[in-house]
Amino acid sequence: MSNYTEEINRRRTFAIISHPDAGKTTLTEKFLLYGGAINLAGSVKGKATARHAVSDWMQIEKDRGISVTSSVLQFEYDGYCINILDTPGHQDFSEDTYRTLMAADSAVMVIDASKGVEAQTRKLFKVCVMRKIPIFTFINKMDREARDTFELLDDIEKELGIATCPINWPIGSGKGFQGVYDREKKCVIAYSDTEKGTKEGTSTEIPIQDEEHLKELIGEDAADKLLGEVELLDGASAEFDLDEVQKGNLTPVCFGSALTNFGVEIFLKHFLKMTTTPLPRKADIGLINPTEHEFSAFVFKIQANMNKAHRDRIAFMRICSGKFDANMEVRHVQGNKVMRLSQPQQLMAQERKVIDEAYAGDIIGVFDPGMFSIGDTVCAPGKKFAYEGIPTFAPEHFARVRQLDTMKRKQFVKGINEIAQEGAIQIFQEFNTGMEEIIVGVVGVLQFDVLKYRLENEYNVEIRLENLPYEHIRWITNENVDLNKLVGTSDMKKIKDLKGNPLLLFVNSWSIGMVLDRNEGLQLEEFGRN
């Protein structure tokens, strides 16, 4: 049994979040480089090294240099087994990020040193706070001209309302960025020879007391500035308190440059020291502890067509307790069915390897014949409980979708349904028609481009999108409401979702109040949980 507990305790599962372009995917690549998972780290733009990032595998991701879907990467480092969930930064794909955060135990927040806290970072941060998950901050792009370091920390504290505790301190920025000062070891770490960040490079350590050597290494001005800042820092910054970090009230901050590899390994080492083993999860029978219970997991993401050759669907599960064995039977709680999970695999973005076992904290992908939905629970056959659902966000943009070739009806319906099950888009129908008229709702308009691209490339179906003026959607929660008798407004549209639930679309929020006034007892809701 001790071996099993040991395996669980060496797991660390975290999500990387940031505003678009802060360098999150590049940082993920460097983690993999240190973990020996890849020999040559790629970058999102893929110029100098001519390699795309491992975690960006869809063609559209490589073309645009942004991440569209979350990817899962696992590697070993220093006796730990690390699961990284790389999330898309772009707000149009934030839905995917929110779901992914449900599967992580902590979050690494990447901030661009020249820009500070940006809009999307705020949004994601709120989700972390809501879930009370520990946040670790990596201030990236120190190899470019950066804002004043004290200002950056101030910005995080003001904008996000969380105390900061610098673990290390940068020496210069832009071309003058020479390394970092480690506060715990009280030494300066300077870097060289990272070959455009594709190699680990060598580092030189000098104790801060050795002023002579220090001035030789980084120059007199930089050394004087550093000594002054360190003194100020020791007097002014928050004390490091691990308990507060794990409660999510204090964020440790590290500085570096993912592109050139400066400071990445230091961050990784500190991060692993401070993070926790897999955390207990809330279910309808109370908290489920990772080491005390038999196998259980929940689905947080579904991805279709990761492998062009096989047209398959993968359901991503976060294992919450116990040990998973490929031959074991499990109960799919929502479908009330005992089954074996087929082709369980570990994923390295698009690459996969079939596994025989996995432990609490791990993320596995299983083949989905179309029975899983986001938020579903699987557990041991003798048990029956469900983990709490994953919140879904109400779409803000709507468009009518028409296929151009009516002969490809079957592919069209299949494609639209499969992409909708992944949770990126939501599909609705006109109230009194079938699938002829389909209305698609998305959180961000870029999702329309992804839908069009994927239907053409994965299902060979061309579509035309016609934007609709609606901005608000409401679910009718009353049972047995006769939609025909509903007194509406001129800008209201009656629709239903795929399960046949009645919904209303509105152009503006004023109309929602009018409809509620005109129909006594009508209950409208913005959204529920999966």
Would you write out the chain's pLDDT as a tens digit for each of its 530 residues? 468 888 899 999 988 887 777 777 788 778 877 776 554 444 444 333 344 555 554 555 555 444 444 567 788 888 998 888 876 544 544 566 777 788 889 999 999 888 888 876 777 777 777 778 899 999 998 888 889 999 999 988 888 888 899 998 888 888 888 888 888 888 888 876 555 555 556 678 888 787 788 888 878 888 888 888 888 887 777 788 888 888 888 999 999 888 888 888 888 888 998 888 898 888 989 899 998 878 999 998 877 655 555 566 788 889 999 999 988 999 999 888 999 988 887 765 456 678 888 899 998 888 888 788 888 899 999 888 988 877 666 788 899 998 888 888 888 888 888 778 777 788 888 877 666 678 998 877 877 888 888 888 888 999 999 999 998 888 888 877 788 888 888 888 888 887 778 889 999 888 988 999 999 888 887 765 44
Coil, strand, or helix at residue 279? coil
Q: Is 117 exposed, middle or buried (0-12, 13-18, 19+ CB in 10 A)?
A: buried
- Name 474's bridge partners: 504
Per-domain residue ranges for the chain?
Answer: 9-274, 281-379, 397-525
How far apart are the C-alpha atoms of 528 and 374, rounded to whole Å? 13
Looking at domain 281-379, its CATH superfamily turns out to be: Translation factors (2.40.30.10)
> Do 428 and 496 meet the contact criterion of CB atoms below 8 Å apart?
yes
Looking at domain 9-274, its CATH superfamily turns out to be: P-loop containing nucleotide triphosphate hydrolases (3.40.50.300)
> Do 188 and 217 meet the contact criterion of CB atoms below 8 Å apart?
yes
Residue 153: which residues within 8 A CB-CB, separation 6 or more?
A: 164, 166, 237, 253
Coil, strand, or helix at residue 120? helix
Residue 446: which residues within 8 A CB-CB, separation 6 or more?
A: 90, 92, 93
CATH 3.30.70.3280 describes domain 397-525: yes
Q: Of the candidates 330, 331, 334, 343, which has an alpha carbon nearest to the alpha carbon of residue 369?
A: 343
